[in-house]
Amino acid sequence: MSKFTLNVNGQSHSVDVAPETPLLWVLRDHLDLVGTKFGCGVGQCGACTVHLNGSPGRACLTPVSVAAEMKVLTIEGLSSDGSHPLQKAWCELDVAQCGYCQAGQIMTAAALLRGNAHPSDKDIDDSMAGNLCRCATYTRIRAGIHRAAELAGAGKETA
């Protein structure tokens, strides 16, 4: 076991775990941040997507020893009150079915929108292809990202 200090959602946390422990399980078992989900453990489903220094990454493949050097943002830290445009759009369009993958979808989409404020369908398909939705809510995820882009744009205009 080794001690690590993690910066998650702007807060500092200390954990004592094996260095190879994936960030996913540190978040879930040790920090009680369960929004980041376990789906495959091999980086294929995207349910564990978090932001590492601002870029989307797979928490299931990121050892805590690596994550400790980075700023980690999870779904719980995306906004303080569910007011991120993606979160609002997801509720407005009723995107989720079972909902299990959606935190990962939103985190990947948030990174997309940060670099591309008005993505095309093709941009969305390309960026989101790594995130599996077993309920296949892809039609609504696409629509949700477009709607979030609108909401974000409107927010900027009035700001």
Partner 1 sequence: MSTSSPATLDRRSFLRLSALAGGGLVLGFYLKSSARAGGQEVTKVTGLTDGNFAPNAFIRIGQDGTVTIFSARPEIGQGIKTSLPMIVAEELGVDWKSVKVVSAPFDKEYGPQAAGGSTSTPTSYMNLRRAGATARAMLIAAAAQTWGVPVNECYAEDGEVRDRTTGKTLAYRDLVAKAAALPVPDASTVALKDPKDFKLLGSRIGGVDNPKIVTGQSLFGIDQKVPGMVYAVYTRCPVFGGKVVSANLDKVKTLPGVKDAFIINKTFGDVSTGLVPGVAIIADSTWSAFSARQQLEVKWDEGAHAGDSWAGWAKQAKEMAQGAGTGLKSLRKDGDPDAALASAAKVVEASYTYPFVSHLNLEPQNCTVTIEGDRVRVLAPTQNPGAINSSLSRFLNVPPDNVEITITRIGGGFGRRLQADPAIEAAAIAQQVGVPVKLMWTREDDMQHDHYRSGGFHFLKGGVDAEGKLSVWTHRQVGFDAHYISGATDYPARFIPAYSLETAALSNNVPMGPWRAPRSNVHAFVVCSFLDELAHAAGKDPVAFNLAVLGDRKMVSDPPRPDGGRGGEGGAYNAERMRGVVQAVAEKSGWGKTLPRGQGMGLGYYFSHQGYIAEVAEVTVSKDGKLKVDRVTAAVDVGSQIVNLSGAENQIQGSIIDGLGAAMYQDLNIEKGRVVQANLTDYPMIRMPDAPGKIDIHFLKTAYPPTGLGEPALPPLAPAVSNAIFAAIGVRIREFPFSKTDLSWA
Q: Which residues bind partner 1 (CB under 8 A)?
A: 1, 17-18, 20-22, 25-26, 28-30, 32-42, 44-45, 47, 74-76, 78-79, 82, 86-87, 90-92, 94, 96-103, 106, 121, 124-126, 128-142
Quick check: helix, strand or coil at residue 98? Answer: coil
Nearest to 60 by CA among 130, 141, 11, 112: 130
Task: Give me the least distance between CB of 150 and partner 1, in Å please.
Answer: 17
Q: Compute the distance between CA of residue 23 and CA of residue 29 in angstroms, rounded to an integer.
A: 10
Q: Compute the distance between CA of residue 159 and CA of residue 149 in angstroms, rounded to an integer.
A: 15
When the beta carbons of 71 and 123 are compared against partner 1, the nearer one is: 123
Q: What is the dihedral of CA 102, 116, 22, 104, to 10 degrees?
A: 0
Task: Give me the least distance between CB of 65 and partner 1, in Å please.
Answer: 13
When the beta carbons of 2 and 53 are compared against partner 1, the nearer one is: 2
Task: Give me the least distance between CB of 79 and partner 1, in Å please.
Answer: 8
When the beta carbons of 47 and 70 are compared against partner 1, the nearer one is: 47
Q: Compute the distance between CA of residue 61 and CA of residue 25 in angstroms, rounded to an integer.
A: 10
Task: Give me the least distance between CB of 6 and partner 1, in Å please.
Answer: 15
When the beta carbons of 70 and 103 are compared against partner 1, the nearer one is: 103
When the beta carbons of 70 and 104 are compared against partner 1, the nearer one is: 104
Task: Give me the least distance between CB of 23 and partner 1, in Å please.
Answer: 10
Quick check: helix, strand or coil at residue 14? Answer: strand
- Chain centroid to CA 112: 11
